[in-house]
Amino acid sequence: MGDYLCEVAAEQKDLALVVETHSQSLLLSLQLAVMEGRLPPEAVAVYWIRRLSDGRSRAELLPLDKAAHPVGWPPEVFGERLEQSRRLVLSRRRLGAV
Amino acid sequence: MRVVLEEGIFGPGEPSRLDLLSLFRLPLSRSHTLEVDPPDSLGLQTWLEGLDVRTADECRFALELSYDELARRPKPEGVRVLPAPSASWERPVRLPLSLAIGFLETPLQVLVENNRRDRSFLRTVGFAFRATLDRLEGTGFQFVHGGGLSEMLEQVLVRSRQPEWGRRSFVIFDSDAVCPGRSGAANERLARICAERGVPFHRLTRRASENYLPPACLEQHATRMGRPRRERSLRTARAFGQLLQDQRHHYNMKRGLDGDQNHPDREAGEQLFAILDGGKRDALRHGFGESIGDLFEEAALVQDYLLAADGQGPEMMQLFEALLAEI
pLDDT of residue A84: 79
B305's enclosing H/E stretch is helix B304-309
Cα–Cα dist B106/B102, whole Å: 6
- Three-state secondary structure readout of B66-127: HHHHHHHCCCCEEEEECCCCCCECCCCEEECHHHHHHHHHCCEEEEECCHHHHHHHHHHHCH
Average pLDDT in chain B: 93
Q: Please list the rounded mean pLDDT of every run of 10 residues in chain B (327 residues).
A: 94 75 88 92 93 92 91 90 90 92 94 94 95 92 93 93 90 96 93 94 97 97 89 95 97 96 90 94 95 93 95 93 92
pLDDT of residue B280: 95
If one counts every other C-beta atom within 10 angstroms of the C-beta of residue A3, the result is 14
- Would the CB atoms of B29 and A90 count as touching at under 8 Å? yes
- Would the CB atoms of B131 and A75 count as touching at under 8 Å? yes
Nearest chain B Cα distance for residue A17, angstroms: 22
Mutate to test the interface with B, among A34, A58, A81, A89 (most CBs of B within 10 A): A89
**Sheet arrangement for strand B108-112:** B141-145, B108-112, B169-173, B201-203
What is the chain A residue with the closest CA to B309?
Answer: A58
B107 φ, ψ to 5°?
-65, 150
**Chain A positions in Cβ-Cβ contact with residue B68 (cut-off 8 Å):** 78-79, 82
Query: Is A74 part of the contact surface with chain B (CB cutoff 8 Å)?
Result: yes
- The DSSP secondary-structure symbol of B243 reads S
pLDDT of residue A76: 78
- Would the CB atoms of A76 and B303 count as touching at under 8 Å? no
What is the chain B residue with the closest CA to A54?
Answer: B305
Q: Over 80: is that where the pLDDT of A30 sits? A: yes
If one counts every other C-beta atom within 10 angstroms of the C-beta of residue B271, the result is 11
pLDDT tens track for A37-82: 999 888 899 999 999 999 999 999 998 988 999 988 888 788 777 7
pLDDT of residue B281: 95
**Chain B positions in Cβ-Cβ contact with residue A90 (cut-off 8 Å):** 28-29
User: How many cross-chain Cβ pairs, A to B, lie less than 8 Å apart?
Assistant: 62
Q: Contact at 8 Å (CB) between B49 and A50?
A: no
pLDDT of residue B165: 86
pLDDT tens track for B62-96: 999 999 889 988 888 999 999 988 899 988 899 99
Partner residue facing B61 (CB), from A31, A73, A89: A89
**Chain B positions in Cβ-Cβ contact with residue A78 (cut-off 8 Å):** 68, 72
pLDDT of residue B14: 57
**Chain A positions in Cβ-Cβ contact with residue B300 (cut-off 8 Å):** none
pTM: 0.90
- Would the CB atoms of B65 and A65 count as touching at under 8 Å? no
Query: Is A63 part of the contact surface with chain B (CB cutoff 8 Å)?
Result: no
- Would the CB atoms of A53 and B71 count as touching at under 8 Å? no
Q: Over 90: is that where the pLDDT of A13 sits? A: no
Query: Is B219 part of the contact surface with chain A (CB cutoff 8 Å)?
Result: no
What is the chain A residue with the closest CA to B75?
Answer: A69
- ipTM beyond cut 0.95: no
**Sheet arrangement for strand B77-81:** B33-37, B2-6, B77-81, B93-95
Helix axes B42-49, B53-72, angle to 10 degrees: 140
Residue B176, sorted as left (phi over 0), alpha (psi -120 to 50) or beta, turns out to be: left
- Strand B77-81 relative to strand B93-95, pairing: parallel
If one counts every other C-beta atom within 10 angstroms of the C-beta of residue A46, the result is 16
Partner residue facing B73 (CB), from A60, A69, A86: A69
pLDDT of residue A98: 54
